[in-house]
Each structure stands twice: as C-alpha cells, then as structure tokens.
A and B are shown apart, each in its own frame.
Chain A
Amino acid sequence: MTETAAPGPADNRLEITGQIVELDALRHTPAGVPVLGFKLEHRSRREEAGHPREVAVELAAKAMGEMARLLAGSRLGIKIRVTGFLAQKSAKIRQPVLHVIAIEFVEGN
C-alpha cells in the first residue's frame, strides 16, 4: 500500500482528521496479520456553496498490519489524521469503511 501517484480516474484517497470514538480489540487474520476496527468522529466548520456550516461525520475504519499495531496502543478520544481509501464493508453490505494507509497523531493530545 503505497501512496498513489498523480490523480487519475481510479482515485480513492481520503484524508480526514477526527477523534477515535470506538476502538475494537486487536484481532488477527488466519495468516496472522493484525486487524483493528475503529470509528472516527470528525467535526469541523467548512464552507459549502459559499456558505459556512457545521460538519459532523462518523466513519467506520479499519487498520491492518503496522497501522493496526500502532493504533492498538491508542485510546478513545485521541485525535488522529488518517490517510486512506474507502471500500465497502463486504460484498453484501455496501456501507463504506475507511481503510487506513497512514496515521498521524495530531498535537494537543
């Protein structure tokens, strides 16, 4: 999972900052890869069609491998900036899940 190059027709990249509001227990895939599910709550003020507004969104997210280990030591309420991509939860459930590529712990924690 490397950083994608220039924007193109297959773009799927999201950067978002938020608070961890749910943190599952660390689990492992049958091959031993760590997996961690969590929820990120984002709140900010943005401008939309020339008008400022409040934004709140809660996103299901999933970290694997190193990212999962990194987050497993974290706790609720911590603010992070996540870079990742979206994938639907499963073949049957179409809800998007943010898959983590990189994490930055935001100052002030």
Chain B
Amino acid sequence: MPILRVALDVALPGLLDYLAPDGTPADVGRRVRVPFGRGTGEKLGVVFALAEKSEIPAHRLRGALEILRDMPALPPDWLEMLAFCSSYYQHPLGEVVAFALPPVLRRAGPLPEPDVDTLWRATDAGLAARGELRKNAVALKVLDLLAREGPQRESHLRGLSAAVGRGLPEWRELDWIAEVRVPPDRRAVAGPELTSEQAEVLATLTAALGGYAPFLLHGVTGSGKTEVYLRLIETVLARGGQALMLVPEIALTPQLEGRVKSRFPGAHVVSLHSGLSDGARARGFLAALAGEADIVLGTRLSVFTPLPRLGLIVVDEEHDPSFKQQDGIRYSARDLAVWRARQRQVPVLLGSATPGLESWHAAASGRYRRLSLTRRAVALSLPRVRILDTRRIKLEEGLSPELLAGIVARLERGEQSLIFLNRRGYAPVLACPACGWISHCRACSANLVLHLADGRMRCHHCGAEGSVPRACPTCGNQDIHPFGRGTQRLESAMAERFPNARVLRVDRDSASTPTKWNALLEAIHGGRADILVGTQMLAKGHDFPKLTLVGVLNADASLFAADFRAPERLFAQLLQVGGRSGRADLPGEVLVQTEYPEHPLYQALATHDYDHFADAQLAERRQAGFPPFSHQALLRAEAPELAQSLAFLAQAKEAAAQLPERQEGVSLFDPVPMRLARRAHLERAQLLLESSSRPRLQAFLCAWLPRLRSLSAPRKLRWLLDVDPLEL
C-alpha cells in the first residue's frame, strides 16, 4: 500500500509516514489531513514523497485521513527549496513548510474565492430593456453607463449604488449584461526614457534571461534602479515568465505596488507581506501557484511563493537586514533568492546603492556579475555631503548653527528638511538628579524610554510599559528629568524653535498603522510639512521632490559598536538617508554632525565613495577572518539565570568535542553572555562557531544538532541555532 511521507508542523526533524490507499504520485505536493497524537487529534501536512516501504513496522503505521486535492499540488521545486531551507538553517522541515504556507492553507477548509474583478458589458437585450425601466432604476444607471462608456469593472459598478451588488446576478440571469473575457494583457505602458547607463545595464541583463546568472546592480541613490527592474520585468512578462520582486519593508510595498500596477495595468500583480489579511495572502499565493500571477511583489516571506513560470528574481535594497528573519526560522531571503535562481535557472538581480559586503565580495571574486549605475537619472547630481565637527560649537537642542541655518534657508525657499535621528520616543532614559535613580526595565538589561506624547514609559526590547512616574520611586523627588534626545523631543524643540513651520515626526510610533503611515507620506508628498523629524523609516526608497536638506544627528554611537557589521550598517543607513535629498530638480545637501569628523567612514560618505569604503571594510574583515571570509553560526540559549544559559552552552561545546568524526576546520569559541544579556526576564548567552568552509560548517551542524537535542537542560531553557547570523 502506498505510504505518504508527510511534513508536519511539529518540532521533529524529518518526515512522518502515513498509509494512504488512494495515494498516487500526483499527490506529492498536496496537503493531507493526518491523525496526530492520541484520540481524534489531527494535523495538516504536506506530502513530500510517496514510498512503498516505511522503516516503521506496518502495524504501527496510521492511515492518512484525507488527501486534499482542492488546489494544484505544490511543485517539486518548491518542496526542494523548503527541504534545502530546513537543512541549511537547521530547522524542522514541518515547521518550515507551515511557515511558508499562508495561514489559511495551513488548515483544512474552504479555499478563498479568487479575487476577480469581473469586466461587464451590456448585451443588446440589456440595451433594449432600458426603455422599459423606471427612470431611477439602478439597472438603468448601470446599463446607461455601459452603453456610454463601454465595459466596466465590477468594483467600479458597485461604487454606483449599494444595490448594484444584488442586481448583477439578476441582470445576468435576464441576459442584460455579460462577462467580458479578456486574455491578460502583460504589456507595460511607456516609461521614462532610459539614460545611456540604464540602457547598457538593461541590455546586459536582458541578454542573460533564460539561464542562471546572479547580478549585483550597484546604483547610486536616485540612479533609477527601479526603472531597470521594471524594464527587465517587462521583457520577462513578454516572454511568458513570472517575476518575483523582493523589497525590504512592508511600508515600502504599497508605493512600489502602485508604481508596478500603473506600469503593467493589465497584468496580474500580487503583493505579499505579513500585513495582509489571511484571505488576501492565500489568494495571492494560490494565484502564483496556478501560474496566474505575473508579478509577485513582497517582503522576505514572498521568497517562498510557488512560481511555475518563474523567469526572474529581483531583490531590491539587497543589503537590508530585514531580509534576514530574526526569530523562528532564521532564513535570509536574499540568500534563498540566489539559491532559488540557480535551482530554477533564472537570473537574479540584487540591487542596492550600498550593497552588503557579502554581495560586494561575491562580485569582486567573480561569483556575481557587477553592474553599475554611477549617475542620478533625474536629478543633476548627488547631494553635497558636509561633515560638521560639533566638538567646539554650541549646539541648540542638539543642532549646530549650520544645520539650523540650513533649515531656515529651506523654510524661506519653501523646501523640506529632514532631521534624521534614529531613536524614537522623547528621551531614552528618565533619571532623578537628586538620588541618581534611572528608569531601568525590570525585565531587561535596558532602560525604559520616555514616550511623552502618550505619557508612557516603554521598553524597546521586551515591550513592557507603564505610566510616567510622578515622583522618583527611590527618593520621592518629583523633579525627575528626561536625559538624552529622541524624535519626540526633537519634534517639540523644532516646533518651538520654528513656530511657523509645520513639523512632522515620522517613526514607528507616529506611523504605527498602514493608514497613519500613508497619511504621513501623503502629507510629505503634498508639501504639507516643512521639517521632518524621522528615524530610519524615512531612509529607504522614498522620493520626496521637495526635500533638499538632510541633517544627521547622533550617528557617532554606531561608530564604535562591538558588532563588526556596525560600520557597514551605519554607512548604508547614512548614504541611504542622505540619498533622500535633492532627488528631483532641486540640488540636495546632507549635513552630518559628528565629534569624529576625521573618521574614514565619514570621509568616504562625504565623497560618496562606497567602493573605497567597502574595499577598506573587506580588507579589515579579511584580516580579522570575519564573514565573508569565514562562515558563522551562533548557538543562543536563554534561561531565567545566566549561569544556566552558560552551562548549557558549555555542554554543547563539550558535545561537539565528543563527535566521533572530530570536525576539522570548525572553531568553537567560548560561551559568553549576549550584549543585551537580560531580556524579558530571561538571561541570554551565545556560542559562536566559525569555519572558513561553508560545507564543513554545514556538515558539522548536521552532526551536532542531534546531540544538542538530546542534551539535558533546565525546563525553562530555550536554545536556537542561527546560521549566518547578522547580529552577534
């Protein structure tokens, strides 16, 4: 009897076997209901293989309950990608599968109706029937419109009156209206003219379509990378392919989606991100699986979309840390995108103004092909970057006289300024000057941040919050002070300093919902703001034509961070945020306030010299043996007490030493407390592994993981393995 090998959402590695009398090879990739646990418990899994024999004795095998054949089977390449993801990131396959499926499809139940917006036309009978209809009849309105303007989309007709929805099936029954069936029109409308650089890059990319080819497109801010993507997608669609485009932030997808949809008005564009309703996510996934979706646009999770006609993968802002998931399955969508492109033999285009050093190195060593856009497409030039030495000048609310003067000049000319401060809240700490108390979080080794706008104290690490204390909890002094400066404080300082200016704060608090975020963006685009105070939310991808000045405050803190990736991230962030200024026909200016004006990072920034910066960083990493010159994995443990976490990691290291095939070429460091050692009442430690060879590290992890699973640990201890960790 056929045996189904099923991936189930349970914390066990590998597949589970079930008997299925009706199972056929066509059921591989289908969802299946199976019994699990005692009694009538059941789960939904995905069939990964069909077998004749099982290692489990026949009498202990249970029968599958039902193979769900209500949607196309997930294709073999999709199953293969998930299996790779599971083995590479050392995560149980069933959990990877459950993660990759939209929530609706993780349960047995009716599939969501496809989201079709029917195109209706009036029939001859319908046109004739108009004479008999009452003057105010809804049907008359609809038929008149169809007669006058030709076929219309149902969504548009429904907008005429609430009664239209009920009327449509009736009128169709009467044969007054009929559906118009049009084949999808995948053509693009005309875009802006390409610069010679863009045209050259596009020609190279177009020539590579049809086979695996990884490209790194390094284009300065405003150089028109998106235009290159769209042109390439146009060709892919014309040749009958599907395009997958990954973008870093949920917040960026609506803007890009608008741009893509208006370029490809007749194509089926699906946008996927975790902010969608469950139904919409499932519909998008199914449309892609059925091969109906032409363009899939989304955040990292959309890398798991099944795409039978895949022709191209684009990863925009490929350096962005958000492509790496930081909890659960710690996959890198960028790396999976490259893997998938190779698997499917399609080109993958990684684009950025500040490529990640891993990609930069891959291009330098010839694994990726590097393409460059060195000039801005629309604006005349890159913004002028000035590094302001703040050591000997008096700052006013943290702003230097030059920056203030710059803002005044923009106000006079009716242009916008952005002050970039990557710290939300009013002040990072509340303290009592009388006794020295400071607002520690009780659960973390961090401080509670004062959010004056809604009168709360919040921990940015565990989410704990409370009201602002009226008096110092230690000595009773009421005159406690906020120390340091966050966006809220800067916002009120600016409002006070420039009473006639419209100050707008843009951070995760003011843009907490998509609606609020869109309202903020509209206010900026509509010119209803003069001074923007913002965090990194504003740094990415936006085009604000009136924005001509970017001031950067408090960047120095990241210069000396312990993480070896801190300079790379800081440089990318500053170059990106600076790139927001002067993107249209007005020249832009960037002012960076620092106490370390001679620092090479700032010098490279001032000359827009990413190449030099990247090469210098890579030289340092080579010397230190850091990635990309080595490969890392990080074992993390958290427990109520630090000693427990450290003890577990020590055991883990011991277990590694006892592996029969003592693994060569993999070094294990000593367990150490994490930088934020305490978080949400748990104390955390980590053990770093390093190897110059990725396959060796992989082989080691595969041998080591089963040992880790069998180690005894305190009940409340949790551990996880992060392969290619981004943060140490």
Complex Cα–Cα for A33 and B468 (A): 11
Asked, given contacts A30-B450, A31-B468, A33-B470, whether A91 binds B478 with beta carbons under 8 Å apart, the answer is: no
Complex Cα–Cα for A103 and B470 (A): 23
Nearest CB in chain A: distance from B429 CB, A:
11
List A contacts of B467 (CB < 8 A): 31
| Contacting pair B469 A64 (CB below 8 A) | no
| Contacting pair B436 A91 (CB below 8 A) | yes
Given contacts A31-B467, A35-B478, 6 further A-B contacts (CB under 8 A): A29-B478, A31-B455, A31-B478, A33-B470, A35-B479, A91-B433
Complex Cα–Cα for A29 and B469 (A): 10
Interface string of A93-108 (1 = CB under 8 A from B): 0000000000000000
B:403-443 near A, CB below 8 Å: 426, 430, 433-436
| Contacting pair B434 A91 (CB below 8 A) | yes
| Contacting pair A87 B480 (CB below 8 A) | no
Complex Cα–Cα for A20 and B330 (A): 64
Q: Does A79 touch B at the CB level, under 8 Å? A: no
| Contacting pair B479 A29 (CB below 8 A) | yes
* Minimum CB distance partner of B433 in chain A: A90
Q: Does A39 touch B at the CB level, under 8 Å? A: no
Complex Cα–Cα for A29 and B436 (A): 16
List A contacts of B434 (CB < 8 A): 87-88, 90-91
List B contacts of A32 (CB < 8 A): 455
| Contacting pair B433 A31 (CB below 8 A) | no
Nearest CB in chain B: distance from A51 CB, A:
38
Complex Cα–Cα for A35 and B450 (A): 19
Task: Give residues in B with beta carbon < 8 Å to A.
Answer: 426, 430, 433-436, 450, 452, 455, 467-471, 478-480, 482
* Minimum CB distance partner of B480 in chain A: A29
* Minimum CB distance partner of B435 in chain A: A91
List A contacts of B452 (CB < 8 A): 30
| Contacting pair B468 A30 (CB below 8 A) | yes
Main DSSP-derived SS at the A contact region: loop
**Max chain A Cβ within 10 angstroms of own Cβ: one of B426, B450, B480:** B480
**Max chain B Cβ within 10 angstroms of own Cβ: one of A31, A64, A65:** A31
| Contacting pair A30 B430 (CB below 8 A) | yes
Complex Cα–Cα for A92 and B434 (A): 8
A:9-39 near B, CB below 8 Å: 29-33, 35
Nearest CB in chain B: distance from A69 CB, A:
14
List A contacts of B455 (CB < 8 A): 30-32
List A contacts of B468 (CB < 8 A): 30-31
A:52-109 near B, CB below 8 Å: 62, 64-65, 87-92
* Minimum CB distance partner of A88 in chain B: B434
List B contacts of A88 (CB < 8 A): 434
List B contacts of A30 (CB < 8 A): 426, 430, 450, 452, 455, 468, 480, 482
* Minimum CB distance partner of B432 in chain A: A91
Complex Cα–Cα for A33 and B469 (A): 11
What is the size, in residues, of chain A's interface with B at 8 Å between Cβ atoms? 15
List B contacts of A29 (CB < 8 A): 470, 478-480
Complex Cα–Cα for A31 and B471 (A): 8
List B contacts of A33 (CB < 8 A): 470, 478-479
Complex Cα–Cα for A65 and B471 (A): 12
Within 8 Å by CB of B479, from A64, A91, A92, lies: A64
* Minimum CB distance partner of B426 in chain A: A30
List B contacts of A91 (CB < 8 A): 433-436
Complex Cα–Cα for A92 and B462 (A): 32
Q: What are 14 sample pairs from A and B whose C-beta atoms fall under 8 A apart?
A: A29-B470, A29-B479, A30-B426, A30-B452, A30-B468, A30-B482, A31-B471, A31-B478, A32-B455, A33-B478, A35-B478, A90-B433, A91-B435, A92-B433
* Minimum CB distance partner of A90 in chain B: B433
Complex Cα–Cα for A29 and B426 (A): 13
Complex Cα–Cα for A36 and B340 (A): 65
Complex Cα–Cα for A90 and B475 (A): 12
Nearest CB in chain B: distance from A34 CB, A:
10
Nearest CB in chain A: distance from B319 CB, A:
38
Complex Cα–Cα for A29 and B479 (A): 6
Nearest CB in chain A: distance from B363 CB, A:
50
Complex Cα–Cα for A64 and B470 (A): 12
Asked, given contacts A91-B433, A91-B435, whether A31 binds B470 with beta carbons under 8 Å apart, the answer is: yes
List A contacts of B478 (CB < 8 A): 29, 31, 33, 35, 64-65
Complex Cα–Cα for A14 and B434 (A): 20
The 8 closest A-B pairs by CB, nearest first: A90-B433, A31-B470, A31-B468, A30-B468, A91-B436, A33-B478, A35-B479, A30-B450
* Minimum CB distance partner of B467 in chain A: A31
| Contacting pair B469 A31 (CB below 8 A) | yes
* Minimum CB distance partner of A30 in chain B: B468
List A contacts of B426 (CB < 8 A): 30
Complex Cα–Cα for A30 and B479 (A): 9
Within 8 Å by CB of A62, from B436, B470, B479, B482, lies: B479
List A contacts of B480 (CB < 8 A): 29-31
List A contacts of B479 (CB < 8 A): 29, 33, 35, 62, 64
* Minimum CB distance partner of A91 in chain B: B436
Nearest CB in chain B: distance from A63 CB, A:
11
Nearest CB in chain B: distance from A12 CB, A:
14
Nearest CB in chain B: distance from A1 CB, A:
10
Nearest CB in chain A: distance from B574 CB, A:
31
List B contacts of A31 (CB < 8 A): 455, 467-471, 478, 480
* Minimum CB distance partner of A62 in chain B: B479
Nearest CB in chain A: distance from B525 CB, A:
34
Nearest CB in chain A: distance from B348 CB, A:
50
